[in-house]
Structure 1
Amino acid sequence: MRSAARIEAFLEMMSAERGAAENTLSSYRRDLEDAAEQLGGRLAEADAGAIRAYLGDIASRGFAPTSQARKLSALRQFYKFLYAEGLRADDPTGTLDSPRKDRPLPKTMSVAETSRLLDRAALEAADDSPGHGSLLAARRMHALVEVLYATGLRVSELVGLPVNVALRDERYFIVRGKGNKERMVPLSAKARAAMRAWMEVRNATPALAESPYLFPASSESGHLPRQVFARELKALAARAGIAAAKISPHVIRHAFASHLLQNGADLRAVQQLLGHSDISTTQIYTHVLEERLVRLVNDHHPLADRSG
């Protein structure tokens, strides 16, 4: 019963002090009660060896690495609470490694594919012949893809950009991202030019001119819905001779990061540009760094075999 009382005290703290949501509390309760049951009701007193054995047991029961990591996270929080409250003299999870989670490599595009996509968007945006179709749509798409590839913005950040981003015509702007955090984002000359061309037709369209958004639309949000952009992006890719299934706004965001790293950018700098709060999120791109290091050694090490 001692462990049950400790679990209740922990959940009460998480609710009162951390403002944990009901789903979070329920998840902690399930994980901690499962651990307590497997440890014979002695969860509060368990040592590192007992917890390691428990983690081995749940792995043998077929739990996915993500579920194992979640259960270990719940245990870490629980023992950290006990230690902080003076209910334990140590934290038995301090020496335990998290289960390895296999993270799929992000889909991305080659530099050549990205260039084809941007070139096709630029070609369509420059064609104002009568039979061409909607110049408004073409210039909007050109501005969207140029800004997206130049900045690596999240699609929600991109479609919700305020119009003053284009009015200033500066080499960078401040974007408010996840968690209401602000970050500075650079703009390429091509992206600024595409925005200027878009603003010409945007401001000449009465239904759009007064909107506070760079990409206005008659939607509930007042700006272009992300789903509409994603659909139109796939259509542009098809016209550029690229498989539509390979393309999404998120893929272009990944291309932005991958191409920067391929060309020598620092992982920390890419983390800041993408707006990742934790470097571990950005580390999905370490395969790019590894490839670059191999190429660097092969190209420059005096004993490298360059016969191939």
Structure 2
Amino acid sequence: MESRFVSRRLPDNVNRIVSRFPEEVQDFFLEMISAERSVQTIANYAYDFDLFFSFLESSGKTLEQTDARLLKRFFRTVENGYERTVRVKLPRRDARTGEVRDEWVERKHFRINSQSGKQRKQASLRSLFRYLVKTGVLSRDPMEEYEDASLKARRRKKVPVFLTREEAARLISAVDAYHRQKGVKSAGWMEARDLAVILLFLSTGVRVSELVDLDMTSVQADGDSWRIIVTGKGGKQRVLMLNTKASEALRRYLAMRPETEDNALFLNKLKRRISRKGVSEIVKKMVRMAGLPPKAAAISPHKLRHTLATLLLMNGENLRVVQEILGHSSIQTTQIYTHVINTEKDQALSRLERLL
């Protein structure tokens, strides 16, 4: 009988995935839970390992038989994208009784393997094999052998995509326009929610995972202003003050928020905690409604985080302050935004006009 891995900290779909792993790998997840790694981090490890163990099974190999050559085959197999089958629990409303019940649905997704995705999969397996060697399950670390024999990929620095002030203003205005257009049926509180979500992204730079994890207790009134307590990577908390516009939007949403037993700050249409995908869909709808230019057409919640960081630096804010607002553990991560803001470079190019 298959052992059932169950942790109350993890969603059911992640517990189901971990249950399929060898017992010693399940122990690795118990260590991560004990170390208070975030739910999203643990889920990412589960998804990466699921790909790897599916590959091992299809290759007729075991964990103990893994070597540098097999790892190279795995990374090459998923390099240009891969299909992932996931089971998700979705609430379904009975059309006759109106009762809402959870139902497991199997879905297939094709995922593009970005540069950061490739690096994360390598980091995930590196952590796993180090743990297995440390605990005596394996006598050698195949990831070390793989990395010693592999050519180092060139790191390509990309300038982060962000919205200008004018584009950000258009995105905010798009919320009202979207809910006023003919054919859109949504409760008034959902419009208030969408505006609060967009303004929180643009005003605080929270990650989408941080936003969906906000509870009613994460909000603190401070006179006419509001603060939110954000739990970031590694369980680190930071307190962020909302500007007047974001405070007013949140106040309006809270006044209209439906009564529910769910303690989540932001709800979906079934009055349960909104998902990452649900938040991403809100942003996509507003981006389309705003009619933003091609560069901004693929704006995601994370790109709104880029927008806040860039606008803060353009406004002359200190890099260390921006680091604290974003919750970066290293200032080097924050420095990527300085590639966009370079006043001396702009002035040099402007002075060139005199010579032409």
TM-score normalised by length of structure 1: 0.61
Residue 27 (structure 1) aligned with residue 143 (structure 2): yes
1:191 to 246, 260, 282: 246
**Structure 1 residue 295, shift from structure 2 partner:** 4.0
Aligned to 2:275: 225
Aligned to 2:171: 117
> Is residue 175–residue 191 contact of structure 2 (8 Å, CA) maintained in 1?
yes
Q: Which runs of 5+ in 1 are unaligned?
A: 1-10, 35-57, 66-100
**Structure 1 residue 276, shift from structure 2 partner:** 1.0
Question: Residues 172-183 of structure 1: matches in 2 within 5 Å?
Answer: 172-183=227-238
Q: 1:218 to 1:25 in 2, by over 3 A?
A: farther
Question: Residues 54-65 of structure 1: matches in 2 within 5 Å?
Answer: 63-65=152-154
**Structure 1 residue 171, shift from structure 2 partner:** 4.2
Aligned to 2:287: 237
1:148 to 201, 209, 212: 201
Aligned to 2:221: 168
> Is residue 202–residue 308 contact of structure 2 (8 Å, CA) maintained in 1?
yes
The separation in 2 between residues aligned to 1:249 and 1:106, in whole angstroms, is 13
**Structure 1 residue 237, shift from structure 2 partner:** 1.6
Aligned to 2:264: 213
The separation in 2 between residues aligned to 1:278 and 1:21, in whole angstroms, is 33
> Is residue 172–residue 186 contact of structure 1 (8 Å, CA) maintained in 2?
yes
> Is residue 219–residue 225 contact of structure 1 (8 Å, CA) maintained in 2?
no
Deviations 1:91-118 (A, max 9, x none): xxxxxxxxxx222222211111111011
> Is residue 118–residue 146 contact of structure 1 (8 Å, CA) maintained in 2?
yes
**Structure 1 residue 151, shift from structure 2 partner:** 0.1
Question: Residues 1-308 of structure 1: matches in 2 within 5 Å?
Answer: 15=131, 25-32=141-148, 34=149, 63-65=152-154, 101-122=155-176, 133-166=186-219, 168-169=221-222, 170-202=225-257, 205-206=258-259, 208=260, 210-217=261-268, 222-242=272-292, 245-290=297-342, 292-295=343-346, 307=354
Give percent identity, aligned residues only: 30
Deviations 1:268-304 (A, max 9, x none): 22111111111221222121232x23346789xxxx6
Bigger fraction of residues in helix = 1
> Is residue 159–residue 340 contact of structure 2 (8 Å, CA) maintained in 1?
no
**Structure 1 residue 200, shift from structure 2 partner:** 1.6
Q: Secondary structure at the match of 1:168?
A: strand
The separation in 2 between residues aligned to 1:121 and 1:257, in whole angstroms, is 22
Count of residues in Structure 1 that have an aligned counterpart in Structure 2? 221
The separation in 2 between residues aligned to 1:185 and 1:277, in whole angstroms, is 16
AA in 2 matched with 1:156:
S
The separation in 2 between residues aligned to 1:200 and 1:146, in whole angstroms, is 17
Q: 1:199 to 1:123 in 2, by over 3 A?
A: farther
RMSD: 3.6
The separation in 1 between residues aligned to 2:316 and 2:136, in whole angstroms, is 41
AA in 2 matched with 1:116:
R
Deviations 1:203-235 (A, max 9, x none): xx23x3x42111134789x51111111112211
AA in 1 matched with 2:166:
A
Q: 1:167 to 1:184 in 2, by over 3 A?
A: closer
